[in-house]
């Protein structure tokens, strides 16, 4: 394997005779190739293509919880689904990647491409090496395993494992269920408070918010950023625009350098992939100034 260190310091060229699996083995991506073999995908990646392969490093796979790895190793279909999400038809090189571009994976899900500074990302995963050229495609190395989309944003909210289903009542009151339950070119980032966070608010206040289409709409819009923002690209010292026009969310950091929204809400679970965006679970309900309890009780908005 030769690296072009003078003109293209970030690009390594593999021998044109090496297929994607051989290239991955030569690059010491042993966990990936082992999983590919277990999932029965070795012949596909050796003989078919061309493909663009997004390959997590061995270190990236090591970040997965042991229970998740054990579960995938016992279920070859689930493992194949995860791996196919890292495969895109055709050879797409870094110079053709456009920030904001949406790619379609081999198993029909969406992968978002974006850049931050000089770094390239596929969803939440940072690219650590680009354009490993192989006989039947090209490989990118990434620092995390991509999360396969779990349905639409509405599907994620309804998933009982996340304990955030209470926010559905706001979506329903705001008549926004269909908006966040469809897949289109529009992508969203939704910060969804836990059921416990909603329950911690005054019951009468919550009832009034849900009883008004306008109140409910403003609450939902204030929890949504138009576009996709994963945790790594969340500005830790700035503001975040929302769909509630003119009302932004402040982002600061705590003592552990974790992001905090509006000086109150911390991220409990991050980067839950959906077909139409990404969901972050937060510890507090975000309340815009126009909907503080005094305003709602006084029925200023009608």
Q: What is the 3-state secondary structure (H, E, C) of 214-233?
A: HHHHHHHHHCEEECCCCHHH
Cβ atoms of 123 and 143 within 8 Å: the answer is no
- Per residue in 113-169, pLDDT (tens digit) is 988 888 999 999 999 999 999 999 999 999 999 999 999 999 999 999 999 999 999
Instruction: Calculate ∠ Cα 170-187-180, nearest 5°.
Output: 30
Helices (H) and strands (E) in the chain, counts: 12, 16
Quote the pLDDT of residue 298. Answer: 58
Quote the pLDDT of residue 16. Answer: 56
- Residue range(s) of every CATH 2.30.180.10 domain in the chain: 20-142, 153-297
Cα 207 to Cα 230: distance, rounded to the nearest angstrom: 32
Instruction: Check the CA dihedral 277-280-281-282 and report its sign.
Output: negative
- Per residue in 19-47, pLDDT (tens digit) is 999 999 999 999 999 999 999 999 999 99
Say which CATH topology domain 20-142 has.
FAS1 domain (2.30.180)
- Per residue in 249-298, pLDDT (tens digit) is 999 988 888 899 999 999 999 999 999 999 999 999 999 999 988 777 65
Residue with tokens 């836990």: 194
Residue with tokens 């503001």: 239
**Average pLDDT in the 187-210 region?**
96
Cα 121 to Cα 100: distance, rounded to the nearest angstrom: 10
Residue with tokens 């070795």: 42
Report the predicted TM-score, pTM, of the whole model to 2 decimal places. Answer: 0.86
Query: Percent of the chain, pLDDT > 70?
Result: 92
Torsion angle, alpha carbons of 124, 126, 132, 133, to 10:
40
183: Cβ contacts below 8 Å, ≥ 6 apart: 110, 152, 275, 276
Cβ atoms of 187 and 277 within 8 Å: the answer is yes
What stretches of the chain adopt beta strand conformation (E)? Answer: 2-3, 11-13, 51-56, 87-89, 102-104, 110-116, 119-122, 125-134, 137-142, 188-193, 224-226, 238-240, 249-253, 259-261, 265-274, 277-282
User: What tokens appear for 270 in the block?
Assistant: 């991050």
Architecture of the CATH domain 153-297: Roll (2.30)
Cα 159 to Cα 44: distance, rounded to the nearest angstrom: 33
**pLDDT confidence band for 4 (50 / 70 / 90):** very low
Cα 240 to Cα 226: distance, rounded to the nearest angstrom: 10
């Amino acid at each position: 394997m030769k690296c072009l260190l003078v003109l293209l310091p970030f690009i390594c060229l593999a021998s044109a005779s090496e297929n994607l699996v051989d290239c991955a083995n030569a690059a010491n991506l042993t966990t990936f190739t082992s999983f590919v073999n277990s999932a029965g995908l070795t012949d596909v990646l050796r003989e078919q293509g061309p493909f663009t392969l997004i390959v997590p490093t061995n270190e990236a796979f090591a970040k997965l919880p042991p229970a998740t790895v054990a579960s995938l190793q016992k279920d070859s279909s689930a493992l194949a689904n995860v791996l196919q999400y890292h495969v895109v038809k055709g050879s797409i090189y870094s110079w053709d990647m456009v920030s904001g571009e949406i790619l379609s994976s081999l198993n029909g899900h969406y992968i978002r491409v974006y850049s931050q500074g000089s770094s390239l990302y596929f969803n939440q995963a940072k690219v650590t090496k680009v354009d490993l050229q192989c006989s039947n495609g090209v490989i990118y190395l990434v620092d995390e395993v991509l999360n396969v989309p779990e349905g639409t944003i509405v599907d994620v909210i309804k998933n009982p494992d996340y304990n955030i289903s209470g926010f559905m009542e706001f979506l329903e009151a705001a008549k926004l269920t269909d908006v966040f339950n469809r897949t289109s070119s529009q992508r969203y980032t939704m910060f969804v408070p836990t059921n416990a966070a909603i329950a911690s608010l005054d019951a009468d206040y919550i009832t009034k918010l849900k009883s008004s289409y306008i109140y409910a709409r403003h609450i939902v819009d204030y929890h949504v950023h138009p576009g996709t923002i994963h945790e790594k690209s969340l500005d830790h010292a700035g503001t975040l625009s929302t769909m509630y026009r003119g009302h932004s969310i402040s982002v600061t950091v705590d003592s552990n350098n974790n992001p905090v929204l509006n000086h109150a809400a911390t991220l409990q679970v991050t980067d839950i992939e959906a077909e139409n965006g990404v969901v972050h679970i937060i510890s507090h309900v975000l309340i815009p100034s126009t909907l503080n309890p005094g305003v709602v009780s006084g029925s200023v908005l009608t």
